[in-house]
């Protein structure tokens, strides 16, 4: 698993799940849909993760569980059990005036073996419960290495309930990130200067009717790879086109992304020099502040860790190791650059069982991400998962500030994981 330019750096192996591995599960993501409720139909063990997370984060009142036994699965009565459970559930919700606008049916990977015709089932259920949209959702880890892995599939489901709207305004949607971009990002000011009346994200809406405003936007901006599939389908179904401008931490890439957005909006790109100068200044300050202290990056925290590594290395910051399970296409060019210019940098797969027999690092280092912190035993851990709303120049300066802050703090990783509701 050491670094090199050969393709087998990223092995296909058994899957190791560290106590620090986790984040946005598919149920938590699905519950972003306003006025929604979910029925999780699966063997009991499959629903454990989502149930515990929902309870710990106060989301339990929007999900119920139908636990399937081996007998109920092999009996062939699976679909009827779903219908019976929904009848009871709707009766319960109706009495409490809580009938949702969207009902999601979650199934686990066992459903793939049963071959349920979900399209027909959802249509039948919508006829049984007028005014309620039904969507089929999958918690299927076995699809992780396919073209539509779980996080991609669930994002597609999030936006599948948007209905075509003849009204178009100058707004734009931000797609791919499950946590909203930090409100102090320059993104909002820059887009406003480009003429974007509104910047919309799924987390902005409290009701399903308000959520439909996303169908009015003139453009989807995809800032994470997991959102592109959903945007392709939104373009086809409701006519909202998209531009892929992934979260970047290299100032030159951030500029290029804003220029492409401006071109798509038919606008001049505003002056980005002040933002860029602040970002480059922060890089210099961080280099001097760390004074050679090694930094370890984690793909679970930063979607494109080699792109960030390239940025930090060019600024003179000592990147020692990168934890990356897979090399995603949008990070391939930066991976090659890092390997060509800094061949001593180590590459590790956080889910490869070999990491369990590695010795802990024997020097003080700063781990950007939970799994990197756990696996290495780093004293200093940057509390970040799933990029935490970082975007643009301000995203870079905020991340650098987190790295500097972590340098001065001995982290309590267990407390960090408890606060992040990481459940294995």
What is the full per-residue pLDDT of the chain (424 aa) written as tens digits? 444 333 468 888 888 888 787 778 889 999 999 999 999 988 887 888 788 888 888 899 999 999 888 777 777 677 888 999 999 999 999 999 999 999 999 988 777 777 778 899 999 999 999 999 999 998 877 666 777 788 899 999 999 999 999 999 999 999 999 999 999 999 999 999 999 999 999 999 999 999 999 999 999 999 999 999 999 999 999 999 999 999 999 999 999 999 999 999 999 999 999 999 999 999 999 999 999 999 999 999 999 999 999 999 999 999 999 999 999 999 999 999 999 999 999 999 999 998 888 888 888 999 999 999 999 999 999 998 776 799 999 999 999 999 999 999 999 888 888 888 776 5
d(CA 60, CA 210): 23
Residues 157, 203: contact at Cβ < 8 Å? no
Q: How is 348-392 classified by DSSP, letter by letter?
A: E-TTSGGGGGSPPPSS--EEESHHHHHHHT-SEEE--STTTT--H
User: Cα dihedral sign for 93, 127, 82, 229?
Assistant: negative
What six digits make up the tokens of 406?
A: 């972590």
d(CA 322, CA 348): 6
At residue 86, the 3 state secondary structure works out as helix
d(CA 177, CA 227): 8
d(CA 3, CA 128): 57
């Amino acid at each position: 698993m050491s670094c090199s330019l050969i393709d087998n750096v990223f092995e296909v192996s058994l899957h190791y799940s560290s106590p620090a591995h986790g984040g946005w599960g598919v149920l938590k993501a699905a519950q972003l849909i306003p006025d929604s409720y979910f029925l999780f139909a699966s063997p009991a063990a499959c629903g454990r993760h989502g149930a515990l997370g929902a309870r710990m984060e106060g989301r339990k009142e929007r999900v119920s569980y139908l636990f399937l036994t081996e007998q109920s699965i092999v009996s062939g009565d699976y679909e009827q059990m779903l219908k019976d459970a929904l009848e009871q559930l709707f009766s319960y919700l109706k009495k409490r005036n809580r009938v949702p606008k969207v009902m999601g049916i979650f199934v686990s990977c066992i459903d793939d073996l049963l071959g349920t015709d979900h399209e027909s089932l959802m249509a039948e259920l919508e006829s049984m419960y007028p005014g309620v949209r039904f969507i089929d959702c999958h918690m299927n880890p076995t699809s992780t290495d396919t073209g539509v892995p779980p996080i991609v599939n669930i994002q597609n489901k999030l936006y599948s309930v948007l209905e075509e709207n003849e009204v178009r305004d100058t707004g734009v949607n931000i797609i791919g990130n499950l946590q909203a971009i930090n409100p102090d990002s320059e993104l909002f000011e820059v887009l406003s200067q480009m003429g974007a009346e509104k910047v919309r994200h799924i987390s902005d809406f409290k009701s399903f009717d308000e959520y439909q405003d996303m169908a009015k936007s003139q453009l989807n901006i995809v800032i994470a790879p997991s959102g592109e599939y959903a945007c392709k389908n939104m373009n086809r179904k409701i006519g909202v086109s998209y531009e892929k401008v992934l979260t970047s931490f290299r100032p030159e890439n951030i500029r290029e992304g804003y220029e492409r957005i401006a071109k798509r909006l038919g606008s001049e790109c505003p002056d980005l020099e002040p933002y860029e100068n602040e970002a480059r200044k922060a890089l210099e300050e961080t280099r001097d502040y760390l004074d050679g202290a090694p930094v370890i990056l984690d793909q679970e925290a930063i979607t494109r860790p080699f792109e960030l590594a390239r940025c930090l290395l060019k600024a003179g910051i000592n990147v020692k190791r990168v934890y990356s399970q897979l090399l995603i296409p949008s990070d391939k060019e930066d991976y090659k650059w890092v390997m060509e210019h800094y061949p001593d940098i180590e590459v590790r797969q956080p889910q490869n069982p070999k990491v369990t027999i590695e010795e802990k690092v024997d020097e003080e280092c700063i781990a950007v991400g939970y799994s990197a912190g756990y696996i290495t035993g780093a004293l200093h851990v940057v509390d970040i998962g799933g990029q935490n709303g970082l975007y643009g120049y301000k995203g870079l300066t905020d991340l650098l500030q987190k790295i500097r802050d972590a340098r001065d703090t001995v982290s309590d990783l267990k407390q960090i994981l408890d606060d992040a509701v990481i459940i294995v």
